[in-house]
Amino acid sequence: MKTKVIIFDADGMVISNTTRFSGKYSQEFGVDYADMLSFFEGEFQQCLVGKADLKVVLQSYLVKWKWNKSTGDFLEYWFSSEHHIDKQVVQYIQQLRSQGIVCALGTNQENYRTEYMKTKMGFAEVFDTVFSSADIGHKKPHAEFFEYILDKLLPVTKEEIWFWDDTPKNVEGAKRFGLKADLYTDFAGFKAKLDSLVV
Beta bridge partners, 104, equal 7, 129
pTM greater than 0.75 = yes
Q: Are 183 and 168 in contact (CB under 8 A)?
A: yes
Domains of the chain, by residue range, sit at: 5-16+85-197, 21-81
According to the model, what pLDDT value does residue 199 have? Answer: 59
Q: Which residues contact 190 (CB under 8 A, 6 or more apart)?
A: 89, 164, 182, 184
What pLDDT is recorded for position 113? 98
- What are the 10-residue block averages of pLDDT along the chain, 199 residues in total? 94 87 92 91 97 96 94 96 96 96 98 98 98 98 98 96 98 98 96 84
Could you tell me the end-to-end alpha-carbon distance of the chain, in angstroms, rounded to an integer? Answer: 14
Between the CA of residue 131 and those of 22, 51, 94, 123, 134, what are the distances in Å? 24, 16, 18, 11, 9
- Note the pLDDT of residue 19: 75
Amino acid at 86: D
Q: For residue 90, which of 105, 110, 70, 108 has the smallest C-alpha distance? A: 105
- Other beta carbons within 10 angstroms of residue 150's beta carbon come to 17
Alpha helix (H) ranges present in the chain?
21-29, 33-41, 44-48, 54-62, 71-81, 87-98, 111-119, 123-126, 133-136, 143-153, 168-177, 187-197
- The fold of 5-16+85-197 is Rossmann fold (3.40.50)
Q: Residue 1: what pLDDT?
A: 74
Longest dimension (CA), the chain: 55
- Helix (H) or strand (E) holding 129, with range, is strand 129-132
